[in-house]
Amino acid sequence: MTNPAPASASALLRSIDPASGALVWEGEVADAAAVGQAVAAARGAFPAWAALAQDARTALVRGFAGVLQARSGMLAETISRETGKPLWEARGEVASMIGKVELSIAGQAARAGEQHTAAPFGAAVLRHRPQGVVAVFGPYNFPGHLPNGHIVPALLAGNAVVFKPSELTPATGAAMAGAWAAAGLPEGVLQLVQGGPATGAALADADIDALLFTGSAATGAVLRQQCAQRPRVLLALELGGNNPLVAWDGDVAETAALVVQSAYLTSGQRCSCARRLIVPDNRFGTELIEAVADLAASLRIGAWQETPEPFMGPLVSAAAASRAEAQVAQLVSLGARPTRPLARPQGRSAAFLTPALLDVTGLAVPDEEIFAPVLQWRRVGDFEAALEAANNSRFGLAAALVSEDEALWQRFAREVRCGVVNRNRPTTGASGAMPFGGLGESGNHRPSAFYAADYCAQPVASFEAPTAAGHRAALAGMVRA
């Protein structure tokens, strides 16, 4: 069973449908005392859960997948209402959550299982033990899928979890906790704490053994500082990106569609969205920019439940839209030339924005992630300059090359500094059967997805013999009579 933490009675948290302004969820905020109680409850539940046989934990996690399947329609609607993303995309997110279970079971077996190697004295044994109490911080853009990608492998490994959803998507977090309760998770093993930055700060400061965070690079930097003097707390950070997409040759129409899917999917609110488009200074580059601008102008924008289904919905809030507008205004003040401006569509809430395309050729612009449907593009003279531009970032999450030239691809794959590198596919394409994570300000060398098992369990190496025989003989001739 999962338990929401006791909360402060003085504060309420609300989530709002960004498309309509309607109230989606309301509940109490967990203050520092409530966070401490949640961590203590998880600590108390941990030993019995960790001692449970792996098969039993696996069966319960599979039961959770079954609950998700039974509740998939309700959960998808909750995600759409809180984030604004179209219902087709929310359904895909729920499907990814269900699929994550079997992928995590496979990852646990492959990367955190048990190995026995025969030795003259007996055996060398590799085991993995859980970290203990694991704090999971969820983001708002994938409020189900991304924290699920931490929680499932953490529970499989035998950890207890304290889960803090984004303060913008508490209803999705509550629905996930409810699904674990329905699956029969034992009392205390998963604790839910709702709240904003103060709740998160209290959880990061609490008696935890690991902190698994998905979110912005700025918050990731704060968490690194907060945990700097506590080396025993494992920190796994999945942060943002200022991701490059080099479109060098090929079919213009197909490439334009790939660019649009890379830059504007989820209204640009994916950490793997393309933010920087790099094109050659030739006819292909010119025609591609025109095609991207035309296709972006034709994208259907609408609320999550509208028909026909929109390609993209609003940003998560009007405040997020205003932040994006301020960032674009700064770029324009530095000389960026709008090929397509960032605008608020008429008749829509203040959270909606149209896709923007900005020419920054020849300009030095801030190396910042704009978490919105904003794509900056620049022309370069040769592929050397394209690689230099792609790597000119403190981030290193995702990159892609569009080219039919095998030699260019081999060089790009070898030299671009990112954790996810695609060819002739959108930057947003990633597989749960492979690692996912980045370099630099995009992460701290602990990739998630299939490799989440690595940070959810600690390897323990053992030399084991049935008896303490042979040690005295090893000292023969080296001990005084």
Q: What gap in Å lies between CA 68 and CA 64, rounded to an integer?
A: 6
* In 210-329, beta strands by DSSP E: 210-214, 234-238, 243-247, 274-280
DSSP class of 338: E
pLDDT reported for residue 11 = 80
pLDDT band with cut points at 50, 70 and 90 for residue 10? low
The one catalytic residue among 28, 89, 167, 238: 238
Cβ-based neighbours of 348, under 8 Å, separated by 6 or more? 19, 301, 314
Pick 307 or 8 by higher pLDDT.
Answer: 307
DSSP, residue by residue, 126-161: EEEEE-SEEEEE--SSSTTHHHHHHHHHHHHTT-EE
Superfamily of domain 3-239+443-464: Aldehyde Dehydrogenase; Chain A, domain 1 (3.40.605.10)
Q: Break the chain down into helix, strand, coil percent, rounded to 5.
A: 40, 20, 40
Predicted confidence (pLDDT) per residue in 352-383, tens digit: 999 999 999 999 999 999 999 999 999 999 99
- Structure tokens belonging to residue 420: 């996810």
Per DSSP, the chain holds a count of helices (H) and strands (E) of 14, 22
- Which is nearest to 336 in space by CA: 357, 360, 314? 360
Task: For residues 95 and 25, give the distance between their C-alpha atoms in angstroms, rounded to a whole number.
Answer: 23
CA distance 6 to 9: 9
The DSSP bridge partners found for residue 118 are: 123
**Domains of the chain by residue range:** 3-239+443-464, 243-423
Kindly report, residue by residue over 215-269, the tens digit of the pLDDT: 999 999 999 998 989 999 999 999 999 999 999 999 999 999 999 999 999 999 9
What DSSP state is assigned to residue 295? H
| CB neighbour burial string for 195-208, b if at least 16 within 10 angstroms, e if fewer | beebbbbbbbebeb
Return the closest-CA partner of residue 182 out of 74, 104, 105.
Answer: 74
Which residue shows structure tokens 């492998």? 153
Residue 2 has pLDDT above 90, yes or no: no
pLDDT of 309 strictly over 60: yes
- Give CA–CA dist 195/52, Å, rounded: 31
Round to whole Å and give the CA distance between 166 and 137.
7
Q: Contact 370/324 with Cβ under 8 angstroms?
A: yes
116-137 pLDDT, tens digit per residue, is 999 999 999 999 999 999 999 9
Helix (H) or strand (E) holding 112: none
Rounded-to-integer distance, Cα 16 and Cα 220, Å: 25
Which amino acid makes up residue 235? Answer: L
238 carries an active-site annotation: yes
C-alpha closest to that of 104 among 433, 472, 427: 433
418 noted as active-site residue? no
Which residues partner with 4 through β-bridges?
A: 192
Position 314 pLDDT exceeds 80 = yes
Cα–Cα distance measured from residue 213 to residue 239, given in angstroms and rounded to the nearest whole number: 8
Residue 8 reports pLDDT greater than 80:
no
Distance CA 344, CA 281 (A): 31
At 90, the pLDDT band (50, 70, 90 cuts) reads very high
What is the average pLDDT score of the chain?
A: 95
Specify the fold of 243-423.
Answer: Aldehyde Dehydrogenase; Chain A, domain 2 (3.40.309)
pLDDT, tens digit, 9 for 90 and up, residues 316-326: 999 999 999 99
- Choosing from 28, 93, 167, 271, the catalytic residue is 271
pLDDT tops 90 at residue 430: no
Angle at 142 between CA 346 and CA 427, to 5 degrees: 85
CB–CB of 324/371 below 8 Å? yes
pLDDT in tens, 165-178: 999 999 999 999 99
Q: Which residues in 307-404 belong to E strands, given as ranges?
A: 337-340, 356-359, 374-380, 395-396, 398-402
Q: At residue 416, what are phi and psi to the nearest 5 degrees?
A: -75, 140
Contact 428/243 with Cβ under 8 angstroms? no
- What b/e readout covers 295-333, taking b as 16+ CB neighbours within 10 angstroms? bbeeeebbbbbeeeebbbbbbbbbebbeebbebbeebee
438, 420 Cβ separation under 8 angstroms: yes
> Residues 85, 18: contact at Cβ < 8 Å?
no
Query: Residue 5 has what pLDDT?
Result: 52
Can you state the angle between helices 72-83 and 87-111, rounded to 10 degrees? 110
Which region among 10-14, 249-253, 345-349, 400-404 has the lowest average model confidence (pLDDT)? Answer: 10-14
Residue-wise pLDDT for 465-480, tens only, equals: 999 998 988 898 898 8
Round the CA-based radius of gyration of the chain to a whole number and report it: 25
